[in-house]
Structure 1
Amino acid sequence: MTTAPRLRRDAQANVEKLRAAAIAVFSRRGLSAPLEDIAREAGVSIGTLYNRIGSREDLIDAVVPDIAGAKLRTLRERTLAQDTPRAQLETFIAEMIDLQRSDPAMNDAMLRRYPDAVLLINACERSMALGAELVANAHTAGVLAEDFTTDDLMTVLWMAGMASHDPGAPDGWRRVVDRSVSAAWTARA
């Protein structure tokens, strides 16, 4: 097994500047922000970005732990801290929508706009696995309608993600999403 050669000090500094700039720009503008803007913020050329990092997906994967890691861990902790399956699922949905609304990069991640960013997709898969587990737990507890599926959960989150960043979306989108979730609870809930 061969190891990658160590980068010169200046090259390593450029990689760190690019990572910091990517975190800042992606957090402000989403994962589709122009790579030229990231290079400019890092104080390097676009050629340096491509030479040291590679593609957009490589850059996204280089910063996923910084962009999504802590936020998704916090989401998981807050969700699982709830007492009941219903409260857990409600918390998961509300927190996921809040993340999508407040963080353009997280919204892009949850909408899977960059399927070739492997680490990003893995983080999304872990979150969606938690959502599927919460749906199953709510079904087992008898508080969630049997016809509300994991696919329904993903659809609700997709609708919220799309609407929350579309300036042309009707103002009532959140009310419709909330009503969709409210209608899924059983009488036992």
Structure 2
Amino acid sequence: MSTTPGLRRDAQANLDKLRAAAVTVFSRRGLSAPLEDIAREAGVSIGTLYNRVGSREELIDAVVPDIAGAKLRTLRERTLAQESPRAQLETFIAEMIDLQLSDPAMNDAMLRRYPEAVLLINACERSMALGAELVENAHDAGVLSRDFTPDDLLTVLWLAALASHDPAAPDGWRRVVERSVSAAWIAGA
């Protein structure tokens, strides 16, 4: 929702307020937060939101860089700063889980709850492509069992995403996730 040529100044101000409100509300409550709450936070009507933005998915895509961009760049930098393939994969997993725990919007992104939000899905795909590359690097280095695949990595992160925000999830979910990954490392490598 950058400046739109030909848009009246008050309409552009509403777009800017909606964008800022969406970042705040989505980050606090997740991508499924009621759009009415975003409109209220922006100080506009729900009709204005739909008139200026269109749909939830369009609003999500409009704020993806603010919600996920910097966080995913930081995750990538921290991951690739590690010296060994094992440390890189362990960092990637830990950082992804921490993002899911701390940011409901990132958790919703990981679960791909809004597949029509194209920019959001693209950001998820780039992150998972990094994860797949890290798995392959660990295989090539001989430190990770070939039985642990990029699909297994996605499954571990999916489990963490579901469990981390479900009040009914058993307390031991994180321990199970950690054991799943620990079992995949090749002893003595």
Q: What range describes the TM-score normalised by the shorter chain of this pair?
A: over 0.9
**Counterpart contact for 1:80–1:88, Cα < 8 Å:** yes
Code of the aligned partner of 1:167 = P
Aligned partner of 1:130 in structure 2 is: 130
| Alignment of 1:94 onto 2:66 | no
| Alignment of 1:111 onto 2:108 | no
Code of the aligned partner of 1:63 = V
Alignment partners' CA distance in 1, 2:5 and 2:73 = 33
**Counterpart contact for 1:35–1:56, Cα < 8 Å:** yes
Alignment partners' CA distance in 2, 1:147 and 1:127 = 21
Aligned partner of 2:154 in structure 1 is: 154
TM-score (norm 2): 0.97
CA-to-aligned-CA distance 1:33-82 (integer Å, 9 cap, x gap): 00000000100000000000110000000000000000000000000000
Aligned partner of 1:32 in structure 2 is: 32
TM-score (norm 1): 0.97
**Counterpart contact for 1:142–1:188, Cα < 8 Å:** no
Alignment partners' CA distance in 2, 1:112 and 1:71 = 17
Aligned partner of 1:18 in structure 2 is: 18
Alignment partners' CA distance in 2, 1:152 and 1:115 = 21
Shift of 1:6: 1.8
Listed as ranges, the gaps of 5+ residues in structure 1 are none
Aligned partner of 2:180 in structure 1 is: 180
Shift of 1:187: 1.6
Q: How many residues align?
A: 186
CA-to-aligned-CA distance 1:71-105 (integer Å, 9 cap, x gap): 00000000000000000000000000000000000
**Counterpart contact for 1:107–1:161, Cα < 8 Å:** yes
TM superposition outliers: structure 1 runs of 4+ over 3 Å: none
Listed as ranges, the gaps of 5+ residues in structure 2 are none
